[in-house]
Structure 1
Amino acid sequence: MARFDLIDKEWAIIAPLLPVDGREPKRRDDRTVLNGIFYILRTGAPWRGLPGRYGPPTTVYNRYVRWGERGIWSEIFEALASEHEDTLVFIDSSIVKAHHAAAGSKKGNRQRVLDAHAAAGQVRFTPL
């Protein structure tokens, strides 16, 4: 088991939500494929860079796309979110640095620039 693979508690919540396909040949283990999908999403690696322990990149990619089209990801998110009481808290830690020359002209704009910075620094919550 890799460091960030699904733990048994998470798998117990997710497993019943996954589709059961009766296709032949026997398809690759869903848990392994999910771990591969999460690996790609977490690392930002290209699909072809998927480690072999997660299976063929094409299989993992196809399952990711098909489950998205069928709404499986929304169901998984809702199920996992319902298990935690802090699910409505979002933290935005993004920051944008600009060159000091981007603050405006040197004459007369100081207060306007300070006001703009103060407005941009306000805490914002995403409405649900």
Structure 2
Amino acid sequence: MTDAAWRRIKPLLPAQPARGGRWADHRTVLNGILWKLATGAPWRDLPDRYGKWKTVYERYRRWAADGTFDRILTHVQVHDDSVGRIDWTVSFDSTIVRAHQHAAGARKKGNRVGRTRHRGAVRRSGDHGAG
């Protein structure tokens, strides 16, 4: 995380508690969280430079539950939008439009594939001979 990004985020993080033992540095822990989210690796594979994986994981869970990440996102969006850094253009692709569960596999009305109706009898579409 850059120094500029840290200066913007630091005031939004919860104060470290005065009670108990020594807490791991918020910036180190946040960098560990960012590493994990960027790589998709398991928490247990967190590099040692970010501290104990369990500490980073517990801080991630706590901040997700108490709304810390929501506050950071809102702050960054509001600030960056106010200075014109966010382009709110939205694009939809048909691959993300879901069909209703009954839209697939249902029997269609009308003729069945490969068959046509002819004067009350079923005739195969390939039968073009007399008869």
Given the two structures, how large is their TM-score scaled by the length of structure 2? Answer: 0.62
Given the two structures, how large is their TM-score scaled by the length of structure 1? Answer: 0.64
Aligned equivalent of 1:33? 29
Aligned equivalent of 2:11? 16
**Pairwise CA RMSD:** 2.9
Which structure shows the higher helix fraction? 1
C-alpha distance after superposition, 1:73-120 (max 9, x if no partner): 000111111232316345678x79xxxxxxxxxx79xxxxxxxxxxxx
C-alpha change, 1:90 and 1:84, in structure 2 (3 Å) is farther
Unaligned regions of 5+ residues in structure 1, if any? 1-5, 97-106, 109-128
Structure 1 consecutive aligned stretches of length 4 or more whose deviation exceeds 6 Å? none
| % identical equivalent positions | 41
Trace 1:39-78 onto structure 2 (pairs within 5 A).
39-78=35-74
Report the number of matched residues.
97
Tell which structure's C-alpha radius of gyration is larger: 2
Greater RCO (Cα-Cα under 8 Å, separation 6 or more): 1
C-alpha change, 1:83 and 1:90, in structure 2 (3 Å) is farther
Unaligned regions of 5+ residues in structure 2, if any? 97-112, 115-131
Which structure shows the higher strand fraction? 2
